[in-house]
Structure 1
Amino acid sequence: MSHFLDRLKFMSRVKSTYADGHGAVVNEDRKWEDGYRSRWQHDKIVRSTHGVNCTGSCSWKVYVKNGLITWETQQTDYPRTRPDLPNHEPRGCPRGASYSWYVYSAQRVKYPMIRGRLMEMWREARKTMDPVAAWESVSQDPVKAARYKSVRGLGGFVRADWNTATEMIAAANAFTVKKFGPDRVIGFSPIPAMSMVSYAAGARYLSLLGGACLSFYDWYCDLPPASPQVWGEQTDVPESADWYNSTYLMVWGSNVPQTRTPDAHFYTEVRYKGTKTVAVSSDFGEMVKFGDIWLAPKQGTDAALAMAMGHVVLKEFHASGKSAYFRDYVKQYTDMPMLVLLRKNDDHQGTLVPDHFLRASHLANNLGEANHPEWKTLQIDDATGEIVAPNGSIGFRWGEGAHNGGEKVGRWNLEMKDGGSGRTVDPRLSLVSYADEVVEVGFPYFGGEHDELLRRRVPARRLTLADGSTALVATVYDLQMANYGVDQGLGGPNVAASYEDDVPYTPAWQEKHTSVPARLVTQVAREFADNADRTQGKSMVIVGAALNHWYHNDMIYRGIINLLMMCGCIGKSGGGWAHYVGQEKLRPQFGWAPLAFGLDWSRPPRQMNGTSFFYNHTSQWRHEKLGVDEILSPTADRKRYDGLSLLDLNARSERMGWLPSAPQLGANPLDVVDAAERNGQDPVAYTVEQLKSGKLQFACDDPDNPANFPRNMFVWRSNILGSSGKGHEYFLKYLLGTQNAVFGDENDAITPSEVNVRPAAEGKLDLLTVLDFRMSTTCLYGDIVLPTATWYEKDDLNTSDMHPFIHPLSEAVQPLWESKTDWEIYKAIAKKFSEIAGPYLGTRKDLVCTPLLHDTPGELGQPFEPKDWKAGECDLIPGKTAPSMTVVERNYADLYKKFTSIGPLLDKLGNGGKGINWNTQHEVKEIGQLSHTVQEPGVSQGRPKLETAIDAAEMILTFAPETNGHVAVKAWEALSKITGRNHTHLAEGREHDKIRFRDVQAQPRKIISAPTWSGLESEEVSYNAGYTNVHELIPWRTLTGRQQFWQDHRWMLDFGEGACVYKPAIDTKTVAPMLGKKPNGNPELVLNWITPHQKWGIHSTYSDNLRMLTLSRGGPHVWISETEAKANGIRDNDWVEVFNVNGTLTARVVVSQRVPKGMCLMYHAQEKIVNVPGAETSGMRGGIHNSVTRAVTKPTHMIGGYAQLAYGFNYYGTVGSNRDEFVILRKMKKVDWLEGPLVEKTAKLTVNEGASQ
């Protein structure tokens, strides 16, 4: 019946009424409801999550009906928090709620795909050749190679079967290993925490092969170098629930509601308790709406703001003696009482400048310290005036058992005791009342308008050194007071009498740099510190990418961290440093590492710093315009750096063992070992001899020699060419050899002086294999694309720093079409490789170079002046002045068997990390019973199986102290032996907890406290970084064993970063060469390029999702201010082009008052595969946000072998910053969608000419 007639009969259907006629009982047909019932019926619900590096790590219900995924909703069964704390749920966001769209979308990669031209040549070669010979005939022929490399990114894929795809990959890998070396096979995949088994699959294959895994956290610039510098910790932060414990909260450059959506409720809820919130952001971001105060510094000037706040705190709470809590805290938990040598600087009329920490080795008889006296820092005991070597410095961490009968083992702790006598000491903070002399000390200044060397008065003590000479020393505390311009009653130049003085670093001074009113800075600093004093540390700063993506990010972060240390906030619940960018927290890290890097079968693996790798091999160094002299300190000996480029310093760092290399040597490492054995020499001794003679080089010294190219590259769980690839166009030009929009001229750049510079090479990569579930930008540039399972089609594990739980990805339906899980894909490649490479390669010995690693004795490299063996300054000593060198035997026929089983090294060597080790024989037996053992004959017979992804997950859970209580207790026992304090009580309550994969599928599980991390998993306290350092007196893993204000490595001093200083943004020099050079008649606007995380995607994922495109602008867009738009004739939604010498992109423009003048904001990782027209400057389709950027490395991030300043995978190293960049923006005159036929451009490709024989 019609709706109209139904309405006429409505009253006749009423049978009765109730509630005074407000309710009615009716008689009508309700079959229409069946449509809704049918829509929401389901057969089962499966728990899964999204492995997308958003840090949310949210548990979702995935609904399945008739074998199809229909929708998803949020799970709400997280373990409850304590009564005074809000629960973690609900967790989720609109992006996650749209994920099921991908599963059946047209974007899905359904079958293996191979570039058509490559497939055609491969098939022809395979008619007459075996797979390896066929690959060589295609990839090493310049004409054939150019045919497929030059059209990368331009479509042309054909469907393949799995056998063909894996055969081609295996053949390419086998040929590359034999011809060039296994370290020419490279893999890039980020953030293991988001899907641990999936990451481990590729990393395990590469590690067993001898290939190199690239780091990512540093390349993404999510790594904050200040954290390793200050704490010796990669990143450890509070869980989001601890925000609720804070009583004063600053949110600084982290757009919490937009980028931490599942956790933002804690930010809003804490305000109901009365917590004051301060938002610090250059633009009006979402988090500003929740702030009681908004500070809006000019972008890139945050260090000036932080330094001014520090000035207020030091003056009002330290110099005045107002806070006893602050003084007690910095005495015990920071380096402020430590003594620093003062040396004369010859370039500035002999002005004294701070130098190295005073060490036991500087004094007579090494101050009684037999073990590593050069690594033991000193302070003055206030009670006696004596100089002592207190417990906890790094010299007490390593090697004590070999000296004095081991009597000093167990003194690596923060007990306030003399490490020599064991008596209690009271560290003296200041020498103001005890000075032998008050001297003027010079501090470097980079902010302009004032002298480059600020001379300030410091109280000092004169000592007699071991060689009979005398020297002046000062405490870090007094040096910090002087550096901040705080007068301790000593007077003199460059100190402030009031906050209104224009003296670095007063509130008035910062206002000139940041535009933030001085009175607001004073108010916020005073409130922040007063709250911390009253609550004993419950002041917190949430920070993020807006600060960390600047070139001098460590200066910004150290300014903020200094503020927190001054106020005693680190390690205190509700206080501290809360840095959130990437999903870095791989909680069961040391259960995962043996799986991922094949440590159960061979050690060490090859790991490479991603930023240095890409800077080198995408030849971004060829366009470098930042001179080393531009960033040196006025106190540096400039002769040391004459003529050096950033690439020269990076190469020097690699050969000195500070940073890793990939490729490592200028020859195949398999051939190096063969040559040594033919010569009857030890391979390490032979390599040292060849390097010293110059007959062999490190690959970094000759990067464009074809012998040193990376040849095969795997990309999985990543969209590097559509997201994180700083210098996108350089990737296309030099690494891939395809069409690009690089406008810059190499002749305008700085030429390296120590690195061999050859003619530019293009198309270095022979094979790019990409694994993805959707056709991303990186897939478009791949040679082989393999279809992976989505996050609802595989079993895996997921953790985050935002909450303390571990939970799964689960197979709600089997992988669709011909897709496979990452584990099954790499297992198939491993099997095919063993079949092909077994007879081709056999068993070979591989020489593996490893840098001087953090958390190993190798971090005790050169204690004072760094010396370069190649310059003849010292001998080449592996593991001391050069990389460690290890011979690893590889039976390539057994790679598959090793991939699918747990090897014997966990029985023999145990497991561990971060400087401790424990026995794992019990766990090996346990996992063998759980997953069964291999019965087939061969190297893996009798070993526990690793057949499935669940087997791999169970290995992680069994060996990790965070998920196995028995292992946690063993790990705490191992640490207790070094600290001399019992820490096992931290895990004993959960000793019998064993978390299994089916457990986390039933409900998220809270992890167990482990020494892997510096916080506690407790029902009484929320996780907070540094908690065990403060409450268990476990040292920070630094030179002094304490949080460090002072950094004394020579390069830190030479680049002016011994203490925190303000450094303006660098000049990348990328705009001037393009201004007016390619005019279209519209005005050109120069703006700072800012690329924050977006609202409608998680990195590039979801940026092509129809639901998100519908809710947003439907394609790439940039934001500019209303004022500048109006002045340049630009209206909202106009098409604009954004360009500089690095490249170009096209987008719609959003005109908004939330954006300040001088800024162009583009939410990052908006794919160029949706709604992107051609660019007027290049005549090609517009690029991505990184098309206008270029990586610029920083020398202080290249330091290694020096306590906390030592390399670790994703721990320390050069970072891929990009916010110092400027661009030209203009309105487009003509929008061209480039729908005509393809016009090929000839690419210059270098294949194998001139390779070393």
Structure 2
Amino acid sequence: MSVDFDRRGFLKAFAAVSGSLAMPSFVARAADSIANLVEGAIPQYESWKDIYRNQWSWDKVVRSTHHLNCWTQAHCAWDVYVKDGLVFREEQAGEYEQVNAALPDFNPRGCQKGGCFSHRMYDDTRITHPLRRVGPRGSGKWERVSWDEALDDIADTYLDVTVEEGTDRTVWDLGPGIDLGVSSAAQGRFSMLTQSIGLDMDGEIGDSRRGTLETFGKIQFERSADDYFNSDLILFWGGNPVQTQIPQAHFYIGAKYRGTRIISIAPDMNPSATKADLWISLRPGTDGALALGVCHLIVEQGKVKEDFVIEQTDLPLLVRSDTDEFLHQGDLQEGGRDDHFVLWDLVSDSAQIAPFRSLKLEALKPQLDARKTVRLKDGQEIEVRTAFSRLRERLQAYTPAAVAEICGVSEKMVQRLTDEITRAKAVSSIAQTTMCKFYHGNLMERSVAMIFSLTGNMGRKGAGFAGFPLLTPDGGDKFQLTPSMKEAKNVFAALEPMITKRLADGDSMEMIVLDLGHLMTEPGNPLIRLPVWTSGTLFWQVHGGINEHSKDPELAEKWNLKLKRPIYSYLEEALDKKWQPLHPPANHEPRIMISMVSNVMKRMRGSEKLLEVLWPKLKKIVVMDWRINSTGRYADYILPVAPWYERTSLKWVTPLSPYLTTTDAATKPLGESRSDWGVVVMLAKHIQKRARVRGITTVKSPQGLDVHLHTLYDDLTMQGEFKEDDDDKVAKAIYDLSETHKKQSWEETKKKGFARFEQLPHEPSSIGNMCDFPEDDTIVPLTYHVRDKVPWPTATRRIQFYIDHPFYRELDEALPRYKAPPKMGGDYPLMMTGGKTRWSIHSTWRDSELMLRLHRPDPAILISIQDAKSRGIEDGDWVRVFNDVGSFNARAQVTPSMRPGQSLMFHAWENYQFPGKGNMNSVSPSPLNPVELAGGHPHLKAGVLMGQASMYDRDTRIDIVKIPARAKA
């Protein structure tokens, strides 16, 4: 019969029938998790079919999405179906308009993770009220407390720490789930007002793209996915898009039908390799050697696009043979500038200053391959050579025979790859964040980027090296920084004189905006008050004890790191010279950690060390989440955060899918859950209340800024304009402040669920795309440099391959070269590589019952048939994975797709999913790479999401032994 029921009755009905009827998993899980939240009569059903029938009716449909780090596939609009205040299911919204008739559209968008979130948000892991630890940290003993009780206690601890020890002792552990929207607005305003510290996780999670920064002066640039349809050749090199870009994959596969060739370059036969026209299997960690072998042939066979190289790169610039540094105008004449570089002009047959304000060469005709003598201003004559001359010499070592020996590919394959690239008119790459997770990943990226530059495949349709794909509305920074909405439009007014002067001096707007990102790592700026960000890598290394291995003076030799001195001496030099940001400094111990959209105990390489070193220093550990993850298990408080369908927001996306995507609250937060914005604002309210009770007013930050604790809530909310339940108002304010979206109102965009970016955001994490955003065509990054001749944001203002920083010269990395993967963890026969899992977005779905049904539910390590056979291991056996650093237990997944000597662990397994002691991060020591600590340089400096030290796991050395199943625990 037909049953008419309200929300409470609906939930009670589920609870009543869940134990006796064969029902959908969603129904059972919802009943188990939330039946205790409702009261009332239980409707009667004639059969379980009634529940199915009612599932296909609803009260409303809301457009929403999942505001976490889908990254390269971010993000997708979904229809969310609601009945009696409960989300039933979600479906992909297939309404993305076709850009033009010659291009495929962006439909459909979504993946299996998004398709089950209605199940995930109601499963057994959901928490709906604040929890306080009552046993020792990690004991799993909790008690339910009220919001007031929890926040008063946290506020009092915060006030004690801030007044007695300093504003920089409170640290925000910000994970990959930051949205750069409403949630980030809360944390950003709190950090700006209190000068507490936000951890930049980009290098720490291995996404730093250091080699991209070294080459281009930035990392954020990528094309729209439909522009790959314009490529003649796509290189899957450092990426596995069929697995990790599910909504985008049809663009790459569809391009094949119009004649595009795909080459996959990867050790293992991954899902993307199965779709390629050619798969080149090379030894793990040798990508740089293969790339340099291709560059060798391009140069030796005369296939260099000289016009492009001479105009766009630093290769025609002169380098001194006596110092191995670039020749500057200041070397040649009194009053000359050190930021003006020199080339050899064939027209005048003399040294001339390279163009500074533009890349246009005008009447100059630079010589690409030159060795000359010049007279310095003091009368001394010295030899100089072009960077290209030095490069040609370096490339001599990378013959096809030498590369074949290093990489395990044939000489003919090196030549074939070169021929494929040089014959194609438009070559593009899929390069995600695989290479930068290798210790020498920066060298790999520089070498691959060189192929694209030597062949002129940059800044035009279908052609280009892929950077870090990121787009975000440019209203978020204004909202975070402004005292009030009346002042928001002019929040950067104090910077106008500086901006005007820099533009007049020849700097580009990109350079200026990127420097605003650098300022966020330098608190106390006299012109503008900013949130404080610092290197997550260095914070965990120094304050968390992860640097234990880096302190070993013999480590470089034991692990074959190819260093000239102990690692720690490089770190000490970088910190002493303030080349890298570390807040609080090494002599200021952190006292409070607030974890927001993060899970550091899961993702941190060697995370057990944090419990030993960092945790005893912390007086309060607060985790904001909707479930108890690996980090939450060791927290003092768990504050329940509403997941995405229960709040309104917007967030960053990527140029690959250039659509701002929104969430509209489909239901009210379950139980006592609050949004991230709400939690942070309520914390500020309690800090203000307790400060006034205790007579605390204003304290000074370490840099001398005033922090008004007694008005924190008033200031954060702009005098009550944006209170704790005002997520929608905050999202609208950010949207309205953005110059990137003007054609649709906020209400129209929220209803539709998405809006195409209309112009380049003038914002540090997005401006690097440097291109137009046409309404009816593809997005082609870097065209402002290549087409319009705007200088690049590097020291030389060109694509830069020669780096004359002392660290690079000391370690013979001034030019790209190959260095063998180190033996991180000890001299063991297997290299443990990794990859993004198909079945989760970071750890969010890793213990989801539905996702676990779609693959092997135990943590598994993939190994080759040969390696398994030699160890007596069969598929499905429990094995112990170990090295000198640690060990863990996992299932063996024996596969023909792995090369002998390679093993692979897909990421995101929660620590508690590993039986026994240890987890996959226990064997990854991740020593620092000195060149990533370099600073005091025009473009090798720390900024938001780039220029900071990284952590690595891809070249961890291990061995594997079979263990009896009984012994795994």
- The two structures have a TM-score, normalised by structure 2, of 0.86
1:152 aligned to 2:137?
Answer: yes
Which among 546, 568, 572 is matched to residue 620 of structure 1? 546
Tell me what 1:812 maps to.
666
How far is the alpha carbon of 1:995 from its aligned partner? 4.8
CA distance 1:257–1:176, shift in 2 (3 Å): same
SS at match of 1:813: coil
1:279-310 deviation digits (Å, cap 9, x = unpaired): 11101100111111111110011111111011
Equivalent of 1:1215 in 950, 953, 960: 950
Task: Give the structure 2 partner of residue 241 of structure 1.
Answer: 226
Partner of 1:834: 688
- The amino acid across from 1:803 in the alignment is S
1:959 matched residue in structure 2: 737
Per-residue CA deviations over 1:440-494 (Å, capped at 9, x if unaligned) read xxxxxxxxxxxxxxxxxxxx21111012211111112222211111xxxxxxxxx
- 1:132-281 correspondence to structure 2 within 5 Å: 151-191=136-176, 194=179, 196-281=181-266
Could you tell me which residue of structure 2 aligns to residue 576 of structure 1? Answer: 464
Provide structure 2 residue ranges, at least 5 long, that are not aligned to the other structure: 1-46, 492-527
Equivalent pairs, count: 870
Query: What is the Cα deviation at residue 389 of structure 1?
Result: 2.0
**Aligned 1:723-1122 pairs, distance under 5 A:** 724-736=603-615, 763-801=616-654, 802-838=656-692, 839-848=694-703, 887-901=704-718, 934=719, 948-964=726-742, 993=743, 995-996=745-746, 998-1010=748-760, 1012=767, 1013-1019=769-775, 1021-1070=777-826, 1086-1122=829-865
> What is the CA–CA distance in structure 1 between the aligned matches of 2:120 and 2:68, rounded to whole Å?
13
Residue 70 (structure 2) aligned to one of 54, 58, 83: 54
Root-mean-square deviation over aligned CA pairs? 2.5
SS in 2 for 1:343: coil
Select which of 421, 440, 445 maps to 1:528: 421
Q: Helix, strand or coil for the counterpart of 1:1219?
A: coil
Note if contact 1:484-1:505 (Cα within 8 Å) is conserved in structure 2: yes
Which of 1 and 2 has greater Rg? Answer: 1
The alpha carbon displacement at 1:509 in A equals: 0.5
Equivalent of residue 601 in structure 2, options 696, 711, 721: 721
**Residues 443 and 817 of structure 2 are in contact (CA less than 8 Å); yes or no, is this contact kept in structure 1?**
yes
Aligned partner (choices 325, 337, 340) of residue 319 of structure 2: 340
The answer to whether the Cα contact below 8 Å between 2:294 and 2:451 also exists between their aligned partners in 1 is yes
State the alpha-carbon separation in 2 of the partners of residues 944 and 39 from structure 1: 37
**CA displacement at 1:627 relative to structure 2:** 5.3
* 1:387-402 map, 5 Å: 387-392=351-356
Is this contact kept in 1: 2:744–2:755, CA < 8 A? no
After TM superposition, the structure 1 = structure 2 runs for residues 277-676 of structure 1, keeping only pairs within 5 Å, are 277-318=262-303, 326-343=305-322, 355-366=324-335, 369=336, 373-392=337-356, 412-417=357-362, 424-431=363-370, 460-485=371-396, 504-531=397-424, 535=425, 538-579=426-467, 585-588=470-473, 590-596=474-480, 603-624=529-550, 625=552, 645-664=566-585
- Measure the CA separation in 2 of the matches of 1:575 and 1:715: 40
Instruction: Give me the whole-angstrom Cα distance separating, in 2, the residues matched to 1:627 and 1:568.
Output: 43
Distance change in 2, residues 1:1100/1:946 (3 Å): closer
- Where 1:71 maps in the other structure, the secondary structure is strand
| Deviation, structure 1 residue 765 | 2.0
SS of 2:109's equivalent in the other structure is: coil
User: 2-side partners of 1:88 and 1:209: how far apart?
Assistant: 42
* Residue 878 (structure 2) pairs with residue 1135 (structure 1): yes
Q: Contact 1:259–1:1093 (CA<8 Å) still a contact in 2? A: yes
Distance 2:237 2:770 in 1: 23
SS of residue in 2 equivalent to 1:358:
coil
What is the CA deviation profile of residues 220-259 of structure 1, one whole-angstrom value per residue up to 9, with x for unaligned ones? 1111011211111132112222211111111013111111
Q: Distance in 1 between matches of 2:545 and 2:702?
A: 26
2:736 maps to a residue whose letter is: T
- Are the counterparts in 2 of residues 946 and 952 from structure 1 also a CA contact under 8 Å? no
Tell me, yes or no, if the aligned pair for 1:1118 and 1:1148 is still in contact at 8 Å: yes
Q: How many angstroms does 1:271 deviate by?
A: 0.4
| Residues 309-318 or 87-96, more deviating | 309-318
Distance 1:634 1:276, change over 3 A: closer
Q: Residue 1230 of structure 1: CA displacement?
A: 5.0
- Work out the percentage of aligned pairs sharing the same amino acid: 27
User: Is the 1:631–1:1055 Cα contact (8 Å) retained in structure 2?
Assistant: no
Whole-angstrom CA distance in 2 between matches of 1:1001 and 1:720: 35
User: Which residue is equivalent to 2:866?
Assistant: 1123
Secondary structure at the aligned position of 1:1162 is classed as: strand
Per-residue deviation, residues 1072-1098 of structure 1 (Å, max 9, x unmatched): 7xxxxxxxxxxxxx4211221112211
Answer whether contact 1:192 1:200 (CA < 8 A) is retained. Answer: no
2:62 counterpart of 1:43: no
Q: Is the 8 A contact 2:436 2:442 kept in 1?
A: yes
User: Residue 380 of structure 1 aligns to a residue in which SS?
Assistant: strand
Match of residue 966 from structure 2 = 1231
Structure 1 SS opposite 2:434: helix
Q: Work out whether residues 172 and 198 of structure 2, in 8 Å CA contact, stay in contact via their aligned partners in 1.
A: yes
Q: How has the CA–CA distance of structure 1 residues 1142 and 997 changed in structure 2, closer, same or farther, with 3 Å as cutoff?
A: farther
CA contact (8 A) 2:662 2:753 kept: no
Q: Write the letter of the residue equivalent to 2:711.
A: D
Is the Cα–Cα contact under 8 Å of residues 1065 and 1220 in structure 1 kept in the other structure? yes
* Cα distance in 2 between the residues matched to 1:376 and 1:1138: 53
Structure 2 Cα separation of the partners of residues 161 and 832 of structure 1: 13
* Aligned-residue offset at 1:1218: 1.3
Task: Decide whether aligned partners of structure 1 residues 478 and 1185 sit closer, same or farther in structure 2, where only a CA change above 3 A counts.
Answer: same
Tell me, yes or no, if structure 1 residue 1173 matches structure 2 residue 915: yes
Cα separation, 2, equivalents of 1:1033 and 1:946: 47
Whether the 8 Å CA contact 1:223–1:235 is kept in 2: the answer is no
Question: Deviation digits for residues 756-813 of structure 1, max 9, x if unmatched?
Answer: xxxxxxx222221101112211111111111101111111113322211101022100
Question: Could you tell me how far apart the structure 1 residues matched to 2:659 and 2:652 are?
Answer: 6
Taking the aligned partners of 1:1208 and 1:956, their CA distance within structure 2 comes to: 22
Q: Deviations over 1:174-233 (max 9, x none)?
A: 111122211111012134664621133223223321111110111111110112111111
Q: Could you tell me how far 1:629 is from its partner in structure 2?
A: 6.6
Supply the distance in 2 between the matched residues of 1:1017 and 1:1114 (Cα, whole angstroms): 43
Q: Which amino acid aligns with 1:779?
A: G
Q: Contact 1:1137 / 1:1228 at 8 angstroms: preserved in 2?
A: yes
Deviation at residue 633 of structure 1 after TM alignment:
13
* DSSP-derived class of the 1:267 partner: helix
TM norm structure 1:
0.67
C-alpha separation between the residues in 2 aligned to 1:171 and 1:34?
Answer: 52
1:1116–1:1168 contact (8 Å) kept in structure 2: no
Whole-Å separation in 2 of the counterparts to 1:948 and 1:80: 34
1:946 shift after superposition: 8.8
Paired residue type of 2:387: V
Measure the CA separation in 1 of the matches of 2:582 and 2:843: 29
Measure how far apart 1:598 and its partner are. Answer: 6.7
